[in-house]
Structure 1
Amino acid sequence: MSQPISLRDAALADLAGIAARHPDTFRVLHPSRLRAAALGVGAIVLLIFGLWRLEFSPARLIDGFGQLIHFLGLMLPPDPGTWSRTLLIFRGLAETLAIAFLGTLGAAILAFPLGFLAARNTSVGRVVHFLSRRMLDSVRGIDALIWALIWVSVVGLGPFAGVLAILTSDIGTFGKLFSEAIEAADRKPVEGVTASGGGKLHGIRFGVLPAVLPVMAGHVLYMFESNTRSSTIIGIVGAGGIGLMLSEMIRTLEWGVVSFIVLLILLAVAAIDAVSGRLRAALAGRR
């Protein structure tokens, strides 16, 4: 009695026929594999060229780690200095948080209508959609530090320039995030509003807004956390906040005060991250 032939044995027996019927699958150098291999080789070559062009040196890296450990030793233990200096540090930290909060909130308010103009499904026309997108791309393409340098030259030193820098930089980011959230919103509620006799504005108000507002609020909370760090950096160029004091302490080699300021910044960012994370989770649970 002959043994039954399994599917695997049958496939192996007809391997030549399968290869003849599906030549692209059995091709050794498939075009997709060639493209993937070419991209991989190109990335490796670009990496090697970049390391060579930027004068990467393992010896310098090892020596740099040694210097880093030396500086970390100088920064311990953290020392706030005198009582008056401690008050100035906390005042600078509060100013940094205020810059981040006002800049983020102002950017979110201004970017809210721009997000609808930049979204395909809510824009008033192709020209407006195109111009809104390009404007947001242009604003977003300039880093907050560059905006800080510009606004310091325009309005002078101080936290006002920092708020304007954060606000200007975040308008482009918020506009893009808001428009993408609007475009990704479910169209069924809008269709339901339209079928009930509502116009386009009614569809946006009752069909799009309830779906995208929690997403937008989550973006705002995350950017507030991120801007707390950015506000520290832009303060170094004179845009207010604790960054200027941090830069001054580094320049005068007061490493104990530097570590104290860095520790305060880390604690503030961690606290904001915890609070905003809970708020984002609550907003996600309501959707």
Structure 2
Amino acid sequence: MTATNQRTLSAIAREEGPRLRAAYPDVFRTDMKARAVTIGTIVLLVGLFVYGLSILETTWWRVFLGLGELGKFVVYMIPPNPETLSKALVYVHALAETVAIAILGTVLAATLALPFGFLAARNVIPSWIARFFVRRSLDTIRSVDALIWALIWVNVVGLGPFAGVLAIMTSDFGAFGKLFSEAIEAADGKASEGIKSTGGGNLHQVRFGLLPQVLPLFASQVLYYIESNTRSATIIGIVGAGGIGLHLYEQIRTLEYQHVSFIIILVLIAVSAIDWVSSRLRFAVIGVRQT
């Protein structure tokens, strides 16, 4: 829009403004009640934030002092050095195990959660009682963190990567169930209505009306969770669920900060590589969908 047009619109607004306010007073009247509610909500949230900082003994001065300590750790971690090639190979092997845990756990979780996503969707299951039990079950599983699941599975199946896979799978099962059901509920219902009008049954509506719409979104969510779970698998390794987490914890405990920085760089490279691959796969899926 040119400057001339802007001036013209401003002039029209100045000329027509009083007439419109007089003709439609209810539209231009300030809703003092709504404004008071908005201001009160903002003040309440700010007050709760400040109160939370005070009871948690959080001060910016402590953060400022902590930055100096953080700088010392950074100095200790430079340069990254595994000392020996054999040690570096051990770390690389453990990292590969971590990535495998993340991929297997995520894929298993998505596969098991797919039918439950449909069972929890309002436009697939009309019975609110059935949806209620499915949704609450997913909420219960999702409310437990992956680290807690790792502790549980380590005691059930023993130490090792299998416990890590089960922990990632169980934790993400509830999350995928919720995400899948919300994506299904947000899908356009016209395709399903068209299939129904031609004599298609409920399964046909799901297979040919809903599934093609939501599959690209499902794929995008699964790819993101693979990347995220690579970091989560690093943490759960600390409790004995396999992967590079145990090595990271041991090196921090023994103050081998150069080893720590080497492991962190390996994890960073792995996450970046997974992000690059997932981006290519996501665009490939979108391209296939559009064609």
TM-score by length of 2: 0.90
Match of 1:151 among 138, 150, 153: 153
Paired letter, 1:12: P
How far does the alpha carbon of each residue in 1:234-285 deviate from its partner, in whole angstroms, 9 at most, with x for none? 1111111000000000000001110000000000000000110121122223
Residue 9 of structure 2 is matched in structure 1 by none
Provide closer, same or farther for how the CA distance between residues 10 and 248 of structure 1 changes in structure 2, counting only shifts above 3 A: closer
Within 5 Å, give how 1:1-20 maps onto structure 2: 8-9=14-15, 11-12=17-18, 17=22
Q: 55-64 or 95-104: which moved more?
A: 55-64
Paired letter, 1:151: W
Residue 3 of structure 1 is matched in structure 2 by none
Paired letter, 1:26: R
Match of 2:262 among 260, 263, 266: 260
Match of 2:78 among 60, 63, 76: 76
How far does the alpha carbon of each residue in 1:32-85 deviate from its partner, in whole angstroms, 9 at most, with x for none? 111110111011111111111011122221111001011000100000122222
Paired letter, 2:195: V
Within 5 Å, give how 1:236-275 maps onto structure 2: 236-275=238-277
* Cα separation, 1, equivalents of 2:90 and 2:218: 35
Provide closer, same or farther for how the CA distance between residues 187 and 10 of structure 1 changes in structure 2, counting only shifts above 3 A: closer
* Cα separation, 2, equivalents of 1:7 and 1:213: 48
The alpha carbon displacement at 1:14 in A equals 8.3
CA contact (8 A) 1:148 1:165 kept: yes
Aligned with 2:34: secondary structure? helix
The alpha carbon displacement at 1:169 in A equals 0.5
Unaligned runs of 5+ in 2: 1-11
The alpha carbon displacement at 1:124 in A equals 6.2
Residue 173 of structure 1 is matched in structure 2 by 175
The alpha carbon displacement at 1:194 in A equals 1.2
Q: 104-113 or 81-90: which moved more?
A: 81-90
* Cα separation, 2, equivalents of 1:282 and 1:187: 25
Match of 2:29 among 26, 30, 36: 26
Aligned with 1:44: secondary structure? helix
Residue 226 of structure 1 is matched in structure 2 by 228
Match of 1:106 among 97, 108, 125: 108
The alpha carbon displacement at 1:144 in A equals 0.9
* Cα separation, 1, equivalents of 2:59 and 2:65: 10
CA contact (8 A) 1:117 1:124 kept: no
Unaligned runs of 5+ in 1: 1-5
Paired letter, 2:134: S
Within 5 Å, give how 1:120-159 maps onto structure 2: 120-123=122-125, 125-159=127-161
Match of 1:86 among 68, 85, 88: 88
The alpha carbon displacement at 1:195 in A equals 1.4
How far does the alpha carbon of each residue in 1:217-240 deviate from its partner, in whole angstroms, 9 at most, with x for none? 111111101101110011111111
Residue 6 of structure 2 is matched in structure 1 by none
Structure 1's consecutive aligned runs of 4 or more residues displaced over 4 angstroms after TM superposition are none
Aligned with 2:239: secondary structure? coil
* Cα separation, 2, equivalents of 1:77 and 1:188: 59
Residue 8 of structure 2 is matched in structure 1 by none
* Cα separation, 1, equivalents of 2:191 and 2:272: 38
CA contact (8 A) 1:120 1:129 kept: yes
The alignment's C-alpha RMSD in Å is 2.0
Aligned with 2:110: secondary structure? helix
Paired letter, 1:109: T
* Cα separation, 1, equivalents of 2:52 and 2:45: 10
Aligned length: 279
Aligned with 2:133: secondary structure? helix
* Cα separation, 1, equivalents of 2:262 and 2:33: 57
Paired letter, 1:187: G
Aligned with 2:242: secondary structure? coil
